[in-house]
């Protein structure tokens, strides 16, 4: 009797916990993943359709504003290469109430992709001692860039700011879907004083993965010309990781050495058993220029990829 009452008090029927998001009813199937600011649950509706539920813990008004910004970006951008938002809602936190408990929870319902992330896919290949084929590498990377282009061409333009293989999902057809706009921000922020610089630096330190972070975001300065080119650097690291299984700065990070110094040194080491063309290596180097102005914009990157794919197809 006690177990039944306990399940009912949690919103459970027949062992399944129920949750309502924007007046839509879902059942929680299992826990999928957890990050620094959120967790992901697998949920289903009454028709057994599966979804991913992102639950963002909000401890204060600022956290709620950050969650609202992510929701707003997801609603603004409608593109086949960016994960869609089924529904969302900000609700009071109903879990354990302790001194550090959140005050609310942002609930985001999104499609569920059972194949997982691009990072998972690359890791499986590399553990077998193999590499992805160059056509597959370029095709996946082109799809990622198409999603980034959709963000960069919004008005005003938006930068993702946390591009990496871990934030790319794969469909059943092995096509790339960009996810996690929790770090996204306007591409060209105004930095007229030290306070504005500090706010952006704090955001970056919290939400932008260091092995994929561009040099200009390690030390944000007054008057810094931060732009969409921050994403281009991260794309260069992402392409390297698709090829090699890790960012060019992961080794530095694992050793505990300074990534900032490694990034500012600008030396990218390629493995001796590099199985790809020199053109692919040049593309990575082009995106990893220390000076942001020397990096190509997303349109140029997509044109370069298309040209390389055509050349490979003509060779077959």
| β pairing state of 87-92 and 24-34 | unpaired
Query: Predicted confidence band at 225 (pLDDT cuts at 50, 70, 90)?
Result: confident
Contact partners, residue 232, CB within 8 Å, separation at least 6: 214, 287, 292, 295, 296, 297, 298, 301
Please give the Cα distance from 186 to 184 (Å, whole number): 7
Q: Which fold has domain 118-315?
A: Transferase(Phosphotransferase); domain 1 (1.10.510)
Question: What would you report as the CA-atom Rg of the chain, rounded to the nearest whole angstrom?
Answer: 21
Q: How would residue 35 be classed by pLDDT, with cut points 50, 70 and 90?
A: confident
Going from N- to C-terminal start, the domains of the chain cover 2-111, 118-315
Distance CA 28, CA 202 (A): 34
The 10s digit of each residue's pLDDT in 113-136 is: 999 999 999 999 999 999 999 999
Report the chain's terminal Cα–Cα distance, integer Å: 69
How far is Cα 140 from Cα 147, in angstroms, rounded to an integer?
11
Structure-token match 């569920």, residue found: 112
Average pLDDT (14-41) is 91
Of 162, 180, 231, 250, which residue is the catalytic one?
Answer: 162
Q: Mean pLDDT, to the nearest integer, of 68-76?
A: 97
Distance CA 169, CA 9 (A): 35
Q: Dump pLDDT digits (tens) for 273-287.
A: 999 999 999 999 999
CA–CA separation, 109 and 241 (whole Å): 29
- Taking only the tens place, the pLDDT of each residue in 168-216 is 999 999 999 999 999 999 999 999 999 999 999 999 999 999 999 999 9
Residue 278 annotated among the catalytic residues of the structure: no
Question: Residue 5: its pLDDT value, please?
Answer: 34
Query: What pTM, to 2 d.p., does this model score?
Result: 0.92
pLDDT of residue 10: 43
CATH, domain range 2-111: 3.30.200.20
């Amino acid at each position: 009797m006690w177990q039944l009452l306990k399940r009912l008090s949690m919103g459970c029927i027949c062992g399944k916990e129920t949750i309502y998001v924007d007046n839509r009813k879902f059942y929680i199937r299992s826990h999928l993943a957890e990050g620094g600011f959120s967790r992901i649950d697998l949920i289903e509706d009454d028709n057994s359709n599966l979804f991913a539920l992102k639950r963002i813990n909000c401890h204060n008004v600022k956290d709620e504003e950050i969650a609202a910004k992510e929701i707003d970006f997801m609603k603004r951008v409608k593109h086949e290469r960016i994960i869609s938002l089924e529904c969302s809602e900000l609700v009071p936190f109903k879990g354990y109430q302790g001194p550090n408990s959140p005050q609310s929870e942002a609930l985001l319902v999104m499609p569920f992709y059972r194949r997982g992330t691009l990072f998972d896919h690359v890791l499986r290949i590399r553990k077998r001692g193999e590499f992805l084929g160059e056509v597959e590498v370029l095709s996946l990377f082109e799809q990622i860039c198409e999603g980034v282009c959709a963000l960069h061409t919004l008005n005003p333009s938006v930068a993702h700011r946390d591009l990496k293989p871990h934030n790319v999902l794969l469909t059943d057809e092995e096509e790339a879907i960009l996810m996690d706009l929790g770090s996204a921000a306007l591409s060209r922020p105004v930095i007229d004083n030290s306070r504005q610089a500090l706010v952006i630096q704090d955001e970056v330190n919290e939400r932008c993965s260091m092995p994929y972070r561009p040099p200009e975001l390690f030390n944000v300065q007054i008057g810094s010309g931060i732009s969409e080119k921050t994403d281009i650097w991260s794309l260069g690291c992402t392409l390297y990781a698709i090829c090699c299984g890790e960012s060019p700065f992961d080794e530095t990070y694992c050793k505990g050495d300074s990534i900032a110094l490694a990034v500012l040194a600008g030396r990218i080491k390629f493995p001796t058993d590099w199985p790809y063309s020199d053109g692919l290596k040049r593309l990575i180097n082009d995106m990893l220029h220390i000076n942001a102005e020397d990096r190509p914009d997303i349109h140029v990157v997509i044109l370069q990829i298309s040209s390389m794919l055509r050349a490979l197809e003509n060779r077959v």
